[in-house]
Amino acid sequence: MALKSDTQSAGAERRRHTRLEVATAVMVSPNGHANHTTIFDISESGARIALPTDFEHGEGALMRLYFPKAHGPMVLFAEIKRVAIDHVGVEFVENQQPLVNQLLDELSED
């Protein structure tokens, strides 16, 4: 897994945090409906997620992200910031930084 530096993304986009490119399974649940999909990249502040089938939620909607783990799933809450043709960009809601850091540590070990 490669980290994208700010210089690689300079120009087209400005990011607050370095992204970790991953390909990991995640279940997203906006409004209680479960959708299995994949995360393309993740950072301290958010993630880019493959657009689930029949996904009909727009910017501003809140969702749960369920990450499978050996000792039970880790759940993070996020707000949809961008919906594109093939992905959804989300920003993690506040006060979850310890869980986000734990997840980033686990994903960077794979």
Q: How far apart are CA 19 and CA 14, in angstroms?
A: 11
The tokens of 18 are what? 């370095």
| Predicted TM-score of the model (pTM) | 0.77
Angle at 87 between CA 30 and CA 53, to 5 degrees: 60
Look over the chain and give the mean of its residue pLDDT values, rounded to a whole number: 81
pLDDT of residue 10: 44
pLDDT digits (tens, 9 = 90+) for 2-41: 444 444 444 445 557 678 888 888 888 876 778 889 999 9
For the ranges 22-26, 34-38, 59-63, 78-82, the maximum mean pLDDT occurs at 78-82
Q: Are the C-beta atoms of 107 and 42 separated by less than 8 Å?
A: yes
Q: Give me the domains of the chain, ranges plus CATH numbers.
A: 17-109 (2.40.10.220)
Which amino acid, 50?
A: A
| Contact (CB, 8 A) for 47 and 32 | no
CA neighbor of 6 nearest in space, from 39, 38, 43, 49: 43
